C-alpha cells in the first residue's frame, strides 16, 4: 500500500495494482495487528482507484473475494463485517482500505497455499489449499493447481463487476446474520443483540430488544466472546 501511494503521487493512473510475493511490514485495520506471510504463499495486492464513496469499500472487496472463492474453488465463504472473509470459522482473507482524497486504496491479503499457521493468532486462520483438501497431508508439496496469477485476474475482474445489489449479496453471506452477536465499539462499549445485516452504506444493523441501531465501526464476535 505504501508503494501504491508513492506511485499515484508520481502520476500512476487509477487502476494501478501492486502485487508482492512477500511482506515484512504488513498491518491490519487495528493498531498493533500485523499480517505476516511467507514468500509465495498468499495473494497480497493493493488496488489504487479514484473513488468518492470509500465507505462500503471493504465490504465490496470482501464480496468480490467471496465470489471468487465460490466460483473458482467451490468454497462457501462468509463475510465477517467489516473486513474479513472466513471459511467456516477461520479467516482466509483480510482487507484493508484507506482513503486519501481522491484515492481509494484497496489492500487484500488472501491465504492461498499455507499449510500451517502460528498457534497464537487472534483469529484462527486457514488457506484455500487447506479448505479444498480437508484432512489431506498438509506437508505435501503439491499446490493443488492454485495459481496466484489466475486468482488475481479473477479477483480484479470481479472487483470491476460490482453488482448493484451488493449489500443484499453481502447479507446472503454475512457471518452470524440473524444470530445474537456481541459488538465492541471503538471506545470499548459492548453491544449485544441480533444481527440484522448491513445497509447500503455498509453500516451494521443490530436489533436490541426491538430497537434497531446502526454501527460504523467495531469488532464483531459471538455472544460472550472475550
Domains 2-173 and 180-221 share a fold: no
Q: For the chain, which residues make up each domain, given as ranges?
A: 2-173, 180-221
Tens of pLDDT, residues 101-148:
899 999 999 999 998 888 777 789 999 999 997 654 444 455 677 999
Separation between Cα atoms, residue 66 and residue 182, nearest integer Å: 23
Separation between Cα atoms, residue 41 and residue 157, nearest integer Å: 22
Tens of pLDDT, residues 181-214:
999 999 999 999 999 999 999 999 999 999 999 9
Q: What is the pTM of this model?
A: 0.91
Contact (Cβ atoms closer than 8 angstroms) between residue 179 and residue 189:
no
Query: What fold, for 2-173?
Result: BirA Bifunctional Protein; domain 2 (3.30.930)
Which ranges in the chain belong to alpha helices (H)? 2-9, 57-73, 128-132, 148-160, 166-173
CATH 2.30.30.100 fits 180-221, yes or no: yes
Query: To the nearest whole percent, how much of the chain has pLDDT over 90?
Result: 75
Amino acid at each position: 500500500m505504501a508503494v501504491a501511494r508513492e506511485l499515484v503521487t508520481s502520476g500512476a493512473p487509477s487502476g494501478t495494482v501492486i502485487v508482492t510475493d512477500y511482506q515484512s511490514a504488513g498491518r491490519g485495520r487495528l493498531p498493533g495487528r500485523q499480517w505476516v506471510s511467507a514468500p509465495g504463499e498468499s495473494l497480497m495486492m493493493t488496488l489504487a482507484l479514484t473513488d468518492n464513496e470509500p465507505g462500503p469499500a471493504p465490504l465490496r472487496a470482501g464480496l468480490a473475494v467471496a465470489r471468487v472463492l465460490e466460483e473458482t474453488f467451490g468454497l462457501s465463504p462468509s463475510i465477517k463485517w467489516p473486513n474479513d472473509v472466513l471459511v467456516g470459522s477461520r479467516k482466509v482473507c483480510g482487507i484493508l482500505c484507506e482513503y486519501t482524497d481522491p484515492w481509494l486504496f484497496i489492500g487484500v491479503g488472501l491465504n492461498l497455499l499455507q499449510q500451517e499457521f502460528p498457534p497464537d493468532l487472534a483469529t484462527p486462520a486457514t488457506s484455500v489449499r487447506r479448505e479444498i483438501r480437508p484432512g489431506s497431508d498438509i506437508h505435501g508439496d503439491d499446490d493443488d493447481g492454485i495459481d496466484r496469477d489466475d486468482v488475481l485476474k479473477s479477483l480484479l475482474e470481479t472487483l470491476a463487476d460490482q453488482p448493484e445489489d451488493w449489500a443484499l449479496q453481502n447479507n446472503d453471506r454475512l457471518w452470524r446474520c440473524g444470530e445474537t452477536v456481541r459488538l465492541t465499539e471503538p471506545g470499548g462499549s459492548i453491544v449485544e443483540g441480533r444481527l440484522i445485516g448491513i445497509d447500503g452504506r455498509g453500516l451494521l444493523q443490530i436489533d436490541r430488544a426491538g430497537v434497531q441501531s446502526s454501527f460504523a465501526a467495531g469488532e464483531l464476535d459471538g455472544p460472550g466472546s472475550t
